[in-house]
Structure 1
Amino acid sequence: MPPPPAPLPKRPARKRKATSDEGSPGGRGGSIEEVAPAPTTPNKRRAKAPGPAAAPPATPTPSNVKLIAEPAVTANSAATMPKQHPAVSRLADPNRTNAPLLSPETSRLVTAGSSSPSSSPSKAPQPRAAATTTTTANILEEACAHLIRVDPRMKPLIDAHPCRIFSPEGLAEEIDPFESLCSGIISQQVSGAAAKAIKRRFVELFSSPHDDDGHHQREGDENRDGNAIDDDGAAAAEKKKTRFPHPSQVATCPIDRLRSAGLSQRKAEYVRGLAEKFGSGELSARLLADASYEEVLTRLTAVRGLGQWSVEMFACFALKRMDVFSLGDLGVQRGMAAFMGRDVAKLKGKGGKWKYMSEAEMRELSGRFAPYRSLFMWYMWRVEETDVSTME
């Protein structure tokens, strides 16, 4: 009988399969003798290392919380410039609310220290000689001078970055506290652009024709008397349509409808719960204008959806209180470390957590700038935009 045929040579399939797995340490491909050398991939591990130049994690900054102090804007009015409020000289106090507040339900203007039956008796007697020296026209100038007296290294920062928030024009802006607090909730854990889009859709839920009082016009042709609307009338109608909704409107709005604007289930519940607080009188423009900072913190942090940082930003950017300081803001912490001459690129704490300065250090340093710690905090956000070597 003829000898059996010789066995066929082995196919290199396993070798190709093993090659395809070489990029993964411990890859399961060919047999041991076919996979040589062992997959160590040292280059990949080095490439993944962040290195000293890695950017710090995202942190809230004034640009992120700007929405808190911005008025409602819809698609029809998005292209218009914000209204410029003329400066008005009023008494100012770094330990009080310096913004004129709009009552969310009635739009009545409320200012701190104005006569009111509900004003606290302890706040009634004001030393007139001291009170008249500080006004909305000069409080920023006084605050900047105080910061420079405490630490002359503040001067380059102040010269490079004028602060509009506490300027006479900034202190003239009328703030709806309900809108500002809702904006703070909306902006949590989302980008600034997404927050603006959600807020615009939220406002439009209540400004569409079927939600208004039934008398808004299609394209602004006629008013309720049948007469043509002029440009001023159309502008007034548009302003009415773009006003932030009243708390009573939001409190009765179904959660599903609130979510259609882009709010999560929790945020929709938070916003409606906040509306109920204003509707019941537990929160009001008058209280936020006259209460101490400690009471503002206590009242607002008790509301679901409003944490310490959110209330601190509201007190600073909306109420324009000038002695607010956030120990938990990473941007402020980083700026303070750079201000003190530390190399912030190398200050990364244990466990991968970023830590530039302890809270005890932040509290001690910021305390020197009281009662203008809000302004000091704002400039700590600006430190890395300025050549800190000029501060020596």
Structure 2
Amino acid sequence: MASRRSARLSALVSSTVLADALPPSALPAVRKRKAPAKDPAPPPAPAEEEAPSTPPRRRARKNNQELPATPTPNAVGLMAEKTQVNRSTPVKKPKSAAISRLADPNKTNAPLFSPKTSRIVASRPADAASPSKAPTGSSKAPRTTTENILEEACAHLIKVDERMRSLIENHHCRLFSSEGLSEEIDPFEALASGIISQQVSGAAAKAIKGRFVALFSDGSEVPQEIMSTGSSSSGRRRFPHPSQVAPTPLETLRTAGLSQRKAEYIIGLAEKFDSGELSAQMLADAPYEEIVEKLIAVRGLGRWSVEMFACFGLKRMDVFSLGDLGVQRGMAAFVRRDIAKLKAKGGKWKYMSEKEMEEISDRFKPYRSLFMWYMWRVEETDVSTME
């Protein structure tokens, strides 16, 4: 038994040594066992059904889409928006004035709610006689009133340039209509709202304004002349009085969502109205250049903000903003320019030069505000009909 085991081990050793000594080609071929068959792999899914590992790259925008345009009339609507007591109760729009007032394209045509005295202030043109007392059968030209000033202005624009007819027929300008000119405007509220809406969305501006008003609706002390009315004749909730806002700590105003600078700007504006440096009467009667000079001196109010307030708040009809990119774009389309080519000029993106804008707009005096309003509407109208 031992000899058999020894012989078997010797044969194994000798075969191992022989295998190490021979080259691989001399060794007998070794048959490999076949691997057990597996289920066939499913065919790959079509390429279009595979989920992409990374999101597709966005297309590069054109130059004229990379830069945000200056806000259009939709963005400055907060200036004339009335504060509301209860959001479930919509603010009633005023009806057309029962008795028309005299109007003047070179003066303030909106009735202003004085934040100082709680009275309604309106400018009076040079011939201050009531239009209802005009002599009958007079040979003089009919007077300009809040009822006919829009009609006169539209006729003037068409007379200057026949291409305006298509815009006027397609878009009614409620801003300078009899109904629009009957709306009471609180200048302190309008200017403060303009500051609130700077560099934020319209929804955010409305929310901040609502919280700002709520800060002063807790029964805090209000001057006697304001307590006697509490609201304007339209029944709307009173915007905070300047004398309430001026002494309010910055930290309190910031709880409404205002930034540090905006809170400082609104307090500074309130101090101007509270001291009498700014007043509804001055804004109603002063020349346009004087209004611009005094308002630009207030921190937080730039030229564009003042121009929009003069147009949408004071309803002055001879305001024109050279720095508004939306107006530039509309004017370029109006004169048949290629508005797809927005070029950088002097470090700023422009559709046309300010000098050219001024030359064109000067022809429409004294109704440049209405002309500007229609330039915002140009892209909503088929400009081919203007040829």
TM bucket (normalised to shorter chain) is: 0.7 to 0.9
Q: CA deviation at 1:86?
A: 2.9
Aligned mates of 1:277, 1:304 — CA distance in 2: 11
- Match runs of 1:99-110 below 5 Å: 99-110=110-121
* Superposed CA offset, 1:4-49 (max 9, x none): xxxxxxxxxxxxxxxxxxxxxxxxxxxxxxxxxxxxxxx96xx553
Closer/same/farther in 2, CA of residues 173 and 84 from structure 1, 3 Å limit: same
* Superposed CA offset, 1:172-204 (max 9, x none): 001111110101111111111111111111111
2:49 corresponds to: none
Closer/same/farther in 2, CA of residues 332 and 203 from structure 1, 3 Å limit: same
Tell me, yes or no, if the aligned pair for 1:91 and 1:132 is still in contact at 8 Å.
no
2:287 corresponds to: 292
- Match runs of 1:111-260 below 5 Å: 111-113=122-124, 133-208=143-218, 210-211=219-220, 239=235, 242-260=237-255
Between structure 1 and structure 2, the one with the greater Rg is 2
Aligned mates of 2:65, 2:279 — CA distance in 1: 45
1:118 corresponds to: none
Where 2:72 maps in the other structure, the secondary structure is coil
Q: Does 1:63 align with 2:58?
A: no
1:50 corresponds to: 61
Tell me, yes or no, if the aligned pair for 2:116 and 2:279 is still in contact at 8 Å.
no
- Match runs of 1:274-353 below 5 Å: 274-349=269-344, 353=348
Q: Does 1:270 align with 2:239?
A: no
User: Which region of structure 1 is more displaced relative to structure 2, 302-311 or 86-95?
Assistant: 86-95
Aligned mates of 2:83, 2:306 — CA distance in 1: 20
1:228 corresponds to: none
Aligned mates of 2:140, 2:262 — CA distance in 1: 44
1:9 corresponds to: none
1:363 corresponds to: 358
Closer/same/farther in 2, CA of residues 125 and 108 from structure 1, 3 Å limit: closer
Tell me, yes or no, if the aligned pair for 2:196 and 2:205 is still in contact at 8 Å.
yes
Tell me, yes or no, if the aligned pair for 2:63 and 2:342 is still in contact at 8 Å.
no
What is the root-mean-square deviation in Å for CA atoms of aligned residues? 2.6
Where 1:165 maps in the other structure, the secondary structure is helix
Aligned mates of 1:286, 1:353 — CA distance in 2: 38
Q: CA deviation at 1:131?
A: 8.9
Where 1:320 maps in the other structure, the secondary structure is coil
Q: CA deviation at 1:345?
A: 1.0
- Match runs of 1:73-112 below 5 Å: 73-74=84-85, 76-77=86-87, 79-87=89-97, 88-112=99-123
Aligned mates of 1:391, 1:239 — CA distance in 2: 44
1:20 corresponds to: none
Letter in 1 for 2:286: A
Aligned mates of 1:124, 1:286 — CA distance in 2: 18
Letter in 1 for 2:189: E
5+ residue gaps, structure 1, are: 1-42, 115-122, 214-234
Aligned mates of 2:116, 2:212 — CA distance in 1: 17
Q: Percent identity?
A: 68
Letter in 2 for 1:203: V
Aligned mates of 1:96, 1:183 — CA distance in 2: 22
Q: CA deviation at 1:113?
A: 1.9
Tell me, yes or no, if the aligned pair for 2:84 and 2:91 is still in contact at 8 Å.
no
Closer/same/farther in 2, CA of residues 205 and 132 from structure 1, 3 Å limit: farther
* Superposed CA offset, 1:217-238 (max 9, x none): xxxxxxxxxxxxxxxxxx99x9
* Superposed CA offset, 1:341-380 (max 9, x none): 0110123325985310100000000000000000000000
Normalization by structure 2: what TM-score?
0.76
User: Which region of structure 1 is more displaced relative to structure 2, 88-97 or 52-61?
Assistant: 52-61
Tell me, yes or no, if the aligned pair for 2:102 and 2:128 is still in contact at 8 Å.
no
Closer/same/farther in 2, CA of residues 255 and 343 from structure 1, 3 Å limit: same
Normalization by structure 1: what TM-score?
0.75
Aligned mates of 2:242, 2:269 — CA distance in 1: 8
Aligned mates of 2:65, 2:285 — CA distance in 1: 45
Aligned mates of 1:295, 1:268 — CA distance in 2: 26
1:35 corresponds to: none
Aligned mates of 1:289, 1:140 — CA distance in 2: 19
Where 1:354 maps in the other structure, the secondary structure is strand
Closer/same/farther in 2, CA of residues 124 and 51 from structure 1, 3 Å limit: closer
Aligned mates of 1:261, 1:100 — CA distance in 2: 29
Task: Report how many residues are paired.
Answer: 314
Where 1:349 maps in the other structure, the secondary structure is strand
